[in-house]
Structure 1
Amino acid sequence: MHGGAVLALLVLAVVSVSGQEGFGHHHHLEEYVDYRARPHYHYDYHVHDHHTHDIKNQWEHRDGKETKGVYTLLQPDGRKRIVEYRAGKHGADYKIRYEGHSVHGGIGSFGIGN
């Protein structure tokens, strides 16, 4: 009789758990995504690591079909590269310029990071 009581409690526990799930019917919440909504975002980031000489940053903004942004990075030759860009329904346009002077041997020639 003792074994029958344990079995009965086990069956009752299984039925109870099954009842919490709606007797096998799983209910999923659907997330509504409006694919026609106008895209809009802005982000920026900065990296400044003196040990690896990884120095760069970027920002970008999008509103509808227009995206614009700027990114800069310190090149191995010591110059800073600056790229400004704009993209839209008529294509993309990039303007690249440099600041500073190129140094023969790059950053490593100064003994930086050694």
Structure 2
Amino acid sequence: MNTKVLILLGLAAMVAADSREFYAYRAPRDSSEESFESTEAKYNFQWAVSDDSSSNEFGHQEARDGDDTQGSYYVQLPDGRLQKVSYVVDGDDGYVADVTYEGEARFDSVESASFESREYRPRYSYDSNESK
């Protein structure tokens, strides 16, 4: 009886090992360049968000035709300025951006105080003599 079980388990293992080859990666059957159709990328999209409760505004617009891409995006910075980035991407020059800012930076005295101006207060103290 044990021999029959071992033979059945052995056959099952061989079938399982053989079936893994069925899912293995293989090159396409027809890999000639003529069989693949080349299509140039072409799209245009735009989106924007304006949240009045937080005064947060941001958005993005982009258009592409083949290798040439152009677009822009903007974001409301924490200091109150609006940062705008206009860019172009083409095959030869790569990504070229123009960054501009609108408005004047404003800082609230309490919220934007620099780290150096704040008093450092450690939460925990450590005495090296206590651990010995």
TM range (shorter): 0.5 to 0.7
Matches within 5 A, 1:39-58: 39-58=41-60
In structure 2, the partner of 1:86 is: 88
In structure 1, the partner of 2:124 is: none
Listed one character per residue, the Cα deviations across residues 32-53 of structure 1 (whole Å, up to 9, x for unaligned) are: xx75101100000010011233
Aligned in 2, Cα 1:51/1:38: closer, same or farther, shift over 3 Å?
same
Structure 1 runs not aligned, ≥5 long: 1-33, 110-114
Root-mean-square deviation (Å) = 2.1
Listed one character per residue, the Cα deviations across residues 53-76 of structure 1 (whole Å, up to 9, x for unaligned) are: 331111100000001001111100
Q: Greater share of strand residues, 1 or 2?
A: 1
Between the aligned residues of both structures, percent identity stands at 28
Aligned partner of 1:68: which letter? Q
Structure 2 runs not aligned, ≥5 long: 1-35, 113-132
Aligned partner of 2:63: which letter? H
Distance in 2 (CA, whole Å) between partners of 1:89 and 1:55 is 31
Q: TM-score, normalised by structure 1?
A: 0.60
In structure 1, the partner of 2:65 is: 63
Q: TM-score, normalised by structure 2?
A: 0.52
Distance in 2 (CA, whole Å) between partners of 1:88 and 1:42 is 16
Distance in 1 (CA, whole Å) between partners of 2:43 and 2:37 is 15
In structure 2, the partner of 1:75 is: 77
Matches within 5 A, 1:11-26: none
Distance in 2 (CA, whole Å) between partners of 1:51 and 1:89 is 42
Q: Which has the higher contact order (CA 8 A, sep 6+)?
A: 1
Secondary structure at the aligned position of 2:60 is classed as strand
Question: Of the two, which has the highest radius of gyration?
Answer: 2
Aligned partner of 1:37: which letter? T
